[in-house]
Chains A and B, each alone.
Chain A
């Protein structure tokens, strides 16, 4: 009889894909930050900073951004319809919020947000989203091709599960990438085929780089099923040019790749000389038919100017898929019954916000513009700060919510990292956290050209805090470089 208790579920017996999968955004550095937070709460003043700033995750409301008033009015009226019938309803809710809530409720199963909806999401809400897509792109959208999900992440998993049969199936992913993609590919047993974005060219996507990696994978016996393109980019923040998008579409068509277009940052563009163009619009404007190219477009309520991360809403729009494949996707969606109705409602609202002339439009527009212009200013302030630091260069954040500065770490720092068994950028990020309370994610969590080091920061801390953050960052970096100078 052994005195050492063997757990009934030893770690060796669990699914190796689960063990292999990684998600740095909520990984080690966050665990350390949470411990620091506890320490600070128990012992205020024990650290050279008095709060932890979670700049590791695109989570705007956690850092003080307020929800859009119109959206929350509609949500509250949908959740507690008794509010629609009080004497004071019109005093506290705008008339368009009231009529929108009534319209939405009429589309819901049992007129209630508490019933399971259709597994693709309530039909009426999908129709509203389809209308919004058509208005955005200038081409019609079919509500039957829209699947509402608990955030875009759930939809990404569904597609990876659908496409990947074994580790012989590959998915092309940008490096750097948002590590949901690498995690989902690992969990579903596939192979990630990397293509490198070119930092020197503003994180540009070179089609010959794509093709080179595609061919190499095929030579190694990998059947490459799809390509992930994140536009605007995460962590890299670039907005693709229209011609670049056309090249990508053409490559997909020629090579039989499904185009997985992560477009969750479509409402986060900060530069005047570029616009977000959906891949759907590109495909339609070039004139490709449905049997020439398959596209999945992902959108989310978590980003943009709405930032409703906790409500978990999003959708995927399918183009160029046969009915029987769509039936299989529907079947997988039906096993989980449906996505949450608050998220569904918010998805319909972000694709169909108040229009000029409607009662809520003035306030809505002011809130939206304030948030977006502030994000633009914060992006610039942080970009400039990084570029002023020794050995650091930072590409412009044209869109999304992040900066991904390149840090030239001195050899001594790299050696010090190795000594404590850490990846050099993780070593830097941890020291940074210890000195400033700022939580950033090491670039190794996203992938980067070998021998280069980055960190990802969000641009989300409240604008009033940015100057203090910048000065602490600069002070830390200066002292770090001094400590490890070659």
Chain B
């Protein structure tokens, strides 16, 4: 029997789910800009801009945001505890970072931060996170319910793997959504059941829409297992009202759905007329106890004011599952042994920050508030800028790190896009990149109401660059519209 060795791994013979899966945030949104960057390096002045600016991804420290000093002090001390033994190096560290590092090190047998930990994460760190959750919500949290992961992403994959048996299992997802959800559902062989957020009402979530989509899916033989809610929203940036959250909870309870609550932007709030409420708090204040309501809450160290994307830290708080199902979740976690210790440490720090009176408190608070206030200003400046563009409307970024403006593309532009074999919004964003060096992600990568076009733009470039970005964007848009105006 002869086997064609060269073709033993060709695109036709690999897992079709891998082939099918898409993730617009990287992919083309990065490879082409990287090529342009290389071109600029080789040939400065060869393009109509002198740098590529990545507004495509929520990656604050890539664009100049500084990490929180206290967090990095603690991390360095935990990585290299011999720094604590020398009085001169101790002088380079704040006293509370030293005591925090010593406390954290005491959770590790032999102070060994290089060892695999418990597969849910180090107990002492989980205790700290549980305490932080309790302080935030006013309802108890248990270290046993917490699973520390390399970013929130692996926790999402874990639940999709657990819940999805086949393509007849569906997961309700918001449209627009962060495309990790669509990618993960595809990779695990399930069916995405979309529910549309309402742009006209600030990306509101209507229960009637949820119900309609659920029933439609069920009528097609899909067994809908869970509901994904991203709050604050990505790419849409809205914060759900408490009423809306209560309706969602009741809906899940009635329909037997697991609630997967992506809450990674809980500390990126830019308005004062709404607050972030965790779904855990809503579920408990509605009266549902630990056994009554299956809920998975995701958090991450990558966002907020800390932006520690590269450290890959996060957790899921898992409540309302039977112990036999929990054992299965633990088993999946154990196959990969544990998440990385630096990420675990940072997760415990973000949920347990310096308090008034601590040596680092004032500088910590200044750094935190500085970043958050600046993010709020940048969000407003860019929102206003988009709303000033012809045919563009942009909802207020109440939260998160993105704006998701809608653009009315003229027919001529749409025809040009089709001729170029591109989605109309991808055609626009490509032209934007080539004229200005600004990288954004076409709305088609997140999902949108058919016939509408959007793009997602981060608010992360440093504040002093925002005016120039806005003026280049406006200039490009004017030119584009004059070229393609109906």
Listed by A's residue number, 27 A-B pairs whose Cβ atoms lie within 8 Å are A9-B225, A13-B225, A14-B162, A15-B161, A15-B164, A21-B332, A21-B335, A69-B82, A76-B79, A79-B75, A80-B73, A92-B83, A92-B89, A108-B310, A109-B61, A110-B61, A114-B310, A165-B13, A294-B8, A302-B116, A309-B337, A310-B338, A312-B150, A312-B338, A336-B150, A336-B157, A340-B311
- A335 near B294 (CB under 8 angstroms)? no
Q: Which of B59, B89, B116 is the one whose CB lies under 8 Å from A59?
A: B116
Q: Pick the contact of B150: A57, A61, A335, A340 (CB < 8 A).
A: A340
B76 at the interface (CB under 8 A from A): yes
Binds A, one of B19-27, B379-387, B465-473: B19-27
Q: How distant is B417 from chain A, measured CB to nearest CB, in Å?
A: 23
Q: 6 closest pairs, A vs B, by CB?
A: A256-B3, A80-B76, A334-B26, A62-B115, A76-B80, A340-B312
Is A82's CB within 8 Å of the partner chain B?
yes
User: Is A245 interfacial (CB 8 A cutoff)?
Assistant: no
CB neighbours of B294 from chain A (8 A): 7-9
Q: Is the CB of A7 within 8 A of B321?
A: yes
Determine if B180 is an interface residue (Cβ-Cβ < 8 Å). Answer: yes
Binary per-residue interface labels of chain A (44-59) against chain B in the complex, 1 for a CB within 8 Å, 0 otherwise: 0000000000000101
Report whether B115 and A310 are in contact in the complex, using a CB–CB cutoff of 8 Å: yes
Interfacial chain B residues near A310, Cβ < 8 Å? 112-117, 338, 340-341
Q: Answer yes or no: B212 CB below 8 A from chain A CBs.
A: no
Cross-chain contact A309 with B88 (CB below 8 angstroms): no
Stretch in contact with the other chain, from A232-240, A322-330, A371-379? A322-330
Residues of A within 8 Å of B225, CB to CB, are: 9, 13
A274 within 8 A of B: no
Please pick, from B57, B184, B257, B331, the residue contacting A18 in the complex, using a CB distance under 8 A: B331
Contact of B5 among A22, A57, A253, A309 (CB under 8 A): A253
A483 within 8 A of B: no
**Is B57 within 8 A of A116, CB to CB?**
yes
Q: Which of A148-156, A191-199, A200-208, A467-475 is the contact stretch?
A: A148-156
B165: chain A residues within 8 A (beta carbon): 13-16
**Chain A residues in 8 Å Cβ range of B328:** 11, 14, 18-19
Q: How far is the CB of A336 from chain B (nearest CB, A)?
A: 5
A308 proximity list for chain B (CB < 8 A): 114
Measured CB to CB, the closest approach of chain A to B152, in angstroms, equals 10
Q: Which of A26, A88, A116, A164 contacts B309 (CB 8 A)?
A: A116
Please name all residues of chain B whose beta carbon is closer than 8 Å to the beta carbon of A72 when the two chains form the complex: 79-80, 82
The answer to whether A18 touches B161, judged by C-beta atoms less than 8 angstroms apart, is yes
Contact B61 A115 (CB under 8 A): yes
Q: Is A113 an interface residue (CB 8 A)?
A: yes
How far does the alpha carbon of A68 sit from the alpha carbon of B375 in the complex, in Å? 40
User: What is the 8 Å Cβ interface bit string for chain B, positions 153-195, against chain A (1 contact, 0 not)?
Assistant: 1100100011111000000000000001001100110000000
Task: Find residues 99-140 in chain B having any chain A CB closer than 8 Å to their own CB.
Answer: 109-110, 112-117, 119
Binds A, one of B62-70, B214-222, B234-242, B430-438: B62-70
Contact A61 B8 (CB under 8 A): no
Binary interface encoding of chain B residues 2-36 relative to chain A, with 1 for a CB under 8 A from any of its CBs, else 0: 01111111110111111101110111001000000
A117 touching B310 by the CB < 8 A rule? yes
Query: Which of A13, A92, A291 contacts B86, CB < 8 Å?
Result: A92
A133 to B275, CA, bound (A): 52
> A76: shortest Cβ distance to chain B, in Å?
4
Q: Pick out which of these stretches binds chain B: A180-188, A356-364, A401-409, A450-458.
A: A180-188
Q: B residues within 8 A CB of A292?
A: 5-6
| Residue A23 CB within 8 A of the other chain | yes
The answer to whether A57 touches B325 (Cβ under 8 A) is: no
Q: A76-B80, A336-B153 in contact; A8/B258 too (CB < 8 A)?
A: yes
Q: A9-B325, A183-B335 are in contact. List 19 more A-B contacts (CB 8 A).
A: A7-B321, A9-B163, A9-B294, A14-B325, A15-B163, A21-B331, A23-B335, A79-B79, A110-B59, A115-B309, A116-B62, A153-B337, A161-B15, A161-B17, A256-B7, A258-B8, A312-B340, A325-B10, A338-B310
A60 → chain B closest CB, angstroms: 8
A272 at the interface (CB under 8 A from B): no
Asked if A103 CB lies within 8 Å of chain B CBs, one says no
A165 contacts B341, CB within 8 Å?
A: no
A42 at the interface (CB under 8 A from B): no
Given contacts A14-B163, A15-B163, contact A342 B114 (CB under 8 A): no
Q: Does B343 contact A (CB under 8 A)?
A: yes
In chain B between 78 and 99, which residues have their CB closer than 8 angstroms to a CB of chain A? Answer: 79-80, 82-83, 86, 88-89, 92
Residues of chain A contacted by B482 (CB below 8 angstroms): none
CB contacts between A and B, total, < 8 Å: 295
Considering the chains assembled together, what is the distance between the CA atoms of A162 and B16 in angstroms?
A: 9
A15 CB contacts on chain B under 8 angstroms: 161-165, 188
Structural contact, A11 and B324, CB atoms closer than 8 A: yes
With both chains docked as a complex, state the minimum distance between the C-beta of B279 and any C-beta of chain A, in angstroms: 15
Task: Please state if B151 and A336 are interface contacts (CB–CB under 8 Å).
Answer: yes
Using CB atoms, name the residue of chain A closest to B259.
A8
CB distance from B44 to the nearest CB of A (A): 19
Interfacial chain B residues near A67, Cβ < 8 Å: 114
Interface residues of A (CB under 8 A from B): 5, 7-11, 13-19, 21-23, 25-27, 57, 59-62, 64, 67, 69, 72-73, 75-77, 79-80, 82-83, 86, 88, 91-92, 108-110, 112-117, 119, 150-151, 153-154, 157, 161-165, 180, 183-184, 187-188, 218, 225, 253-258, 291-294, 302, 307-312, 321-322, 324-325, 328, 331-332, 334-343
Nearest residue in A to B93 (C-beta to C-beta)?
A80
Q: How far is the CA of A95 from the CA of B406 in the complex (A)?
A: 53
Q: In the complex, what residues of B have CB within 8 A of residue A60's CB?
A: 114-115
Give the docked Cα–Cα distance between A10 and B257 (Å): 12
**What is the size, in residues, of chain B's interface with A at 8 Å between Cβ atoms?**
103
Q: Which residues of A sit under 8 angstroms from B285, Cβ to Cβ?
A: none
Judging by beta carbons under 8 Å apart, are A336 and B154 in contact?
yes
Judge whether B395 is part of the interface by a CB distance below 8 angstroms.
Answer: no
Closest CB-CB distance, B259 to chain A, in whole Å? 10
A289 to B478, CA, bound (A): 53
Residues of chain B within 8 A (CB-CB) of A17 are 161
With beta carbons under 8 angstroms apart, the residue of A75, A115, A293 that contacts B79 is A75
Q: Is the CB of A255 within 8 A of B340?
A: no
Query: Known: A9-B325, A291-B6. Is A26-B119 also a contact (CB below 8 A)?
Result: yes
Answer whether A112 and B62 are a contact pair too, CB < 8 Å, given A338-B310, A343-B340: yes
**Cα A188 to Cα B189 with chains together (Å):** 10
Collect the chain B residues with CB atoms within 8 Å of residue A23's CB: 331, 334-335
Residues of B within 8 A of A64 (CB): 110, 112
CB-contact partner of A165 in B15, B75, B321, under 8 A: B15
Is the C-beta of B370 less than 8 angstroms from some C-beta in chain A? no
A164 touches B340 (CB 8 A): no
Nearest CB to that of B252 among chain A residues?
A8
- Which residues of the partner chain A approach B309 to less than 8 Å between Cβ atoms? 114-116, 337
By a CB distance below 8 angstroms, the chain B residues around A337 are: 26, 151, 153, 309
Residues of B within 8 A of A187 (CB): 161, 332, 335
Q: Is B322 an interface residue (CB 8 A)?
A: yes
Of A7, A64, A75, the most chain B CB neighbours within 10 A belong to: A7
Nearest-Cβ distance from residue A31 to partner chain B, whole angstroms? 10
Complex Cα distance A310/B118, Å?
10
Tell me how far the C-beta of B228 lies from the nearest C-beta in chain A, rounded to whole angstroms. 15
* Cα distance, A110 to B18, chains bound together (Å): 30
Question: B256 to A8, Cβ gap below 8 A?
Answer: yes
Contacts of B268 in A (CB 8 A): none
Verify A335–B183 contact, CB threshold 8 A: yes
B308 within 8 A of A: yes
The answer to whether B272 has its CB under 8 Å from any CB of chain A is: no
Instruction: Considering the complex, give the chain A residue whose CB is closest to the CB of B6.
Output: A291
- CB pair A18 B88 closer than 8 Å: no
Is B342 within 8 A of A61, CB to CB? no
The answer to whether A328 touches B340, judged by C-beta atoms less than 8 angstroms apart, is no
Closest to A308 in B: B114
- Asked if residues A92 and B88 are in contact (CB atoms below 8 Å), the reply is yes
CA distance A77 to B13 in the complex (A): 45
Q: Within B331-353, which residues are at the interface with A (CB < 8 Å)?
A: 331-332, 334-343
